[in-house]
Copies of this chain bind each other. A is one copy, B any other.
Amino acid sequence: MKPEILEQLKQLIGKEHVQSSSASRLVYSYDATPGYQSMPDAIAVPGSTEEVAAIVKMCNENRVPIIPRGSGTNLCGGTCPTSGGLVLLFTRMKSILEIDEENLTATVQPGVITKSLIDAVEERGLFYPPDPSSMKISTIGGNINENSGGLRGLKYGVTKDYVLGLEVVLPNGSIIKTGGKLAKDVAGYDLTKLMVGSEGTLGIVTEATLKLIPIPESKQTMLAVFDSMERAAEAVSSIIAHHIIPATLEFMDKPTIKAVENFAKVGLPLNAEAVLLIEQDGEEAAVSKDMKKMQVICQERGAISVEAAKTPLQAENLRTARRTALSALARLKPTTILEDATVPRSKVAEMVHAINETALRFNLTICTFGHAGDGNLHPTCLTDARDKEEMERVELAFEAIFEKAVSLGGTITGEHGVGEMKAPYLEWKVGSAGIEIMRAVKQTFDSNNIMNPNKIFGKDTRKRLVVKS
């Protein structure tokens, strides 16, 4: 970055809000994804939409890449500055601007921590369902860019389902407002939904209006233990086939159970091949009825035990245990590569089976957990990025996993995003005509390719897991 650009940046937003020391640049050179570390040229912390617009305009004129970043918890290399440039932080734009109880909306800045918003609305008897596992540190802006899911996705949907309106700075520096506090709006193309999940490649979200719903009056939690993954998957299918949509329907396989139990100590059964964490919420009598039915279904499908959480604390412990799966697994080996191949829910058993076979074939440790109810699996490879030979096998194994997912009518990513990591595989899902029109959309918004370059659209030949030297 030319010194005069850095100087201009300081003039635009104040020199105390621009960082360019080696230490700062190092801090923002990586995210939660292994293998994509790369130094940015500088970091800017704007305080307002107008400052964001001024920065974007200046960067566009000077062809400086911009990488908008929440807390960097993404798992697709989505915020690694692999072309250098300017990392944009939102730590000065982190206000909950309004919780509108009449219209059931919250208006927030992008830097708000997901959990803070959830807590703030729950205090008023309202509910913001999207709950990515990283919600204690992730930001709403990051969630919007990645269209984050979570444990409550099966019943309540994902981030996109709760974004009603956005303020966005386009790459040319102009500011648009989409949607509003509106349950219905069909005035022109749906730029709101197009922006959600666009991974920072089309513009910068500077404000969001989110939909809230009334908080369910009660919730119950139970754990079903199985001695085979197939039986657990059959129970999942049977629950849905009985027309029950539980609030949560999560599973963990044996190695994940073991790692989580060692880490979280909540009393998970170490001899189980699979557990299902099942929750239902809603009106109390209806919840009890559903839980009873699901208990019977699990038992019919051969569950070893089905036990309800007896206290809210015990329920919270089970949820927390599931949420810590990645952290727990990450302690076991130097490098953890977590994917989110997703299939139609009827194909979960087949996909888990294929993942296990693939791990055997390539002699790798792959643990699997995830959102069984919506077919969103997290095969997680425990490996070591320094072992080049093993990393080649990891690469091949995930290729096989993605190929299988797509062949089952699934997708290469259910909730993590494409980022840089899965860019080489996008075409398998969307086809060459799909890639072509997506590239054209990108070009339309961002003709100079300054917005989070290298993400979504890959160079054909680049292998995702080959670690930079």
Q: A residues bordering B, Cβ < 8 Å?
A: 100-105, 125-126, 146-147, 149, 153-154, 158, 160-161, 170, 174-178, 180-191, 193-194, 196-198, 202, 213-215, 237, 240-241, 243-245, 282-283, 285-286, 289, 342-346, 371, 373-376, 409-418, 422, 426, 429-431, 433-438, 440-445, 456
Which residues of B are found within 8 Å of A416, using beta-carbon distances? 186
Check B102 against A346 for contact (C-beta < 8 Å). yes
A197 to B346, CA, bound (A): 30
A147 to B190, CA, bound (A): 10
Check A193 against B191 for contact (C-beta < 8 Å). no
A345 to B185, CA, bound (A): 13
A170 to B430, CA, bound (A): 14
Sorted from nearest, which 3 A-B pairs have the closest CB atoms?
Answer: A214-B243, A183-B374, A283-B286
A-B contact pairs, 20 of them (CB 8 A): A102-B344, A104-B240, A177-B431, A180-B411, A182-B410, A183-B414, A184-B342, A185-B342, A186-B414, A186-B417, A187-B411, A187-B413, A187-B422, A188-B435, A189-B197, A189-B202, A189-B456, A190-B194, A190-B197, A283-B283
Which residues of B are found within 8 Å of A177, using beta-carbon distances? 430-431, 434
A121 to chain B, nearest CB (A): 12
Check A189 against B194 for contact (C-beta < 8 Å). yes
Check B440 against A444 for contact (C-beta < 8 Å). yes
Check A103 against B188 for contact (C-beta < 8 Å). no
Check B176 against A430 for contact (C-beta < 8 Å). yes
A194 to chain B, nearest CB (A): 5
A213 to B240, CA, bound (A): 10
Knowing A188-B426, A285-B283, A286-B283 touch, does A183 contact B434 (C-beta < 8 A)?
A: no
Check A245 against B283 for contact (C-beta < 8 Å). no
Which residues of B are found within 8 Å of A202, using beta-carbon distances? 189
Which residues of B are found within 8 Å of A410, using beta-carbon distances? 180, 182
Knowing A102-B346, A285-B283, A438-B188 touch, does A181 contact B374 (C-beta < 8 A)?
A: no
Knowing A102-B241, A103-B344, A434-B178 touch, does A413 contact B189 (C-beta < 8 A)?
A: no
Which residues of B are found within 8 Å of A146, using beta-carbon distances? 186
A442 to B444, CA, bound (A): 10
Knowing A180-B409, A214-B244 touch, does A345 contact B103 (C-beta < 8 A)?
A: yes
Which residues of B are found within 8 Å of A413, using beta-carbon distances? 185-187
A248 to B286, CA, bound (A): 21
